[in-house]
Amino acid sequence: MPTPSITLHNHKPGAPPGDLVIWLFIFAELLAFGIFFGAYAFSRSHHVELYNQSQLLLNRESGAINALVLITSSYFVVRAVAAIKQGFSRECANWIAGAIGLGGVFIVIKLLEFNAKFSAGISLSTNTFYMFYLSLTVFHFMHVILGMVILTAVMLKARRGGYTPEDHTGVETGASYWHMVDLVWIILFPLVYVIR
């Protein structure tokens, strides 16, 4: 059986958008979050009361706003990919800049939220729920930053006119990663903030 191979421009029909390597990375990331979510569910089933009580102290509004922010930014990168497919480099770069800006908004809201929690004396050792809350959100937070770094690299190259309608694997690669960051929050937010 032939093993899956990696080429630089693998745009065969049916192949995932972007570079195949980013998909290996995305699956590894989703696996990591998946295991964490599973562990959360497992631990919650043993301490339902504690989880429900602690959950009430989370700031659901800021979580919900952040969900909207990330979903909107995901829409922006969709527009960026659509733009480059028609050869509009400048428009593509602008849409990506918008997505990066919204990533920044997410970061600021999250930092305010973390600050409130740390001021209230909450730490990794407060209880198991907060251990998961802090680990999951900080872990995701770092992915938002990494996603912004990737998008910035793509934006700079787009600005220089480095992508064409025929060859824009880089834009799709960055967009795929950003969607993953968004997707994880779409699961994380209801799981940790809302579902009781």
Residue ranges binding other proteins (CB under 8 A)? 2-8, 21, 24-25, 28, 31-32, 35-36, 39, 124-125, 131-132, 135
Provide the minimum distance between the beta carbon of 35 and other proteins in the complex, in angstroms, as a whole number.
5
Provide the minimum distance between the beta carbon of 31 and other proteins in the complex, in angstroms, as a whole number.
7
Provide the minimum distance between the beta carbon of 7 and other proteins in the complex, in angstroms, as a whole number.
7
Nearer to other proteins, 54 or 89 (CB): 54
Provide the minimum distance between the beta carbon of 27 and other proteins in the complex, in angstroms, as a whole number.
9
Q: Alpha-carbon distance 46 to 114, whole Å?
A: 26
Nearer to other proteins, 15 or 32 (CB): 32
Provide the minimum distance between the beta carbon of 167 and other proteins in the complex, in angstroms, as a whole number.
15
Q: Which residues contact 53 (CB under 8 A, 6 or more apart)?
A: none
Provide the minimum distance between the beta carbon of 188 and other proteins in the complex, in angstroms, as a whole number.
15
Nearer to other proteins, 8 or 56 (CB): 8
Contact 23, 179 (CB under 8 A): no
Nearest-CA neighbor of 60 among 183, 188, 158? 188
Nearer to other proteins, 108 or 124 (CB): 124
Q: Which two structure tokens, joined as six digits, stand for 116?
A: 């409130």
Nearest-CA neighbor of 26 among 143, 106, 110? 143
Contact 171, 92 (CB under 8 A): yes
Nearer to other proteins, 19 or 182 (CB): 19
Nearest-CA neighbor of 92 among 157, 167, 173? 157
Q: Alpha-carbon distance 89 to 157, whole Å?
A: 9
Nearer to other proteins, 44 or 102 (CB): 44
Contact 33, 185 (CB under 8 A): no
Contact 161, 7 (CB under 8 A): no
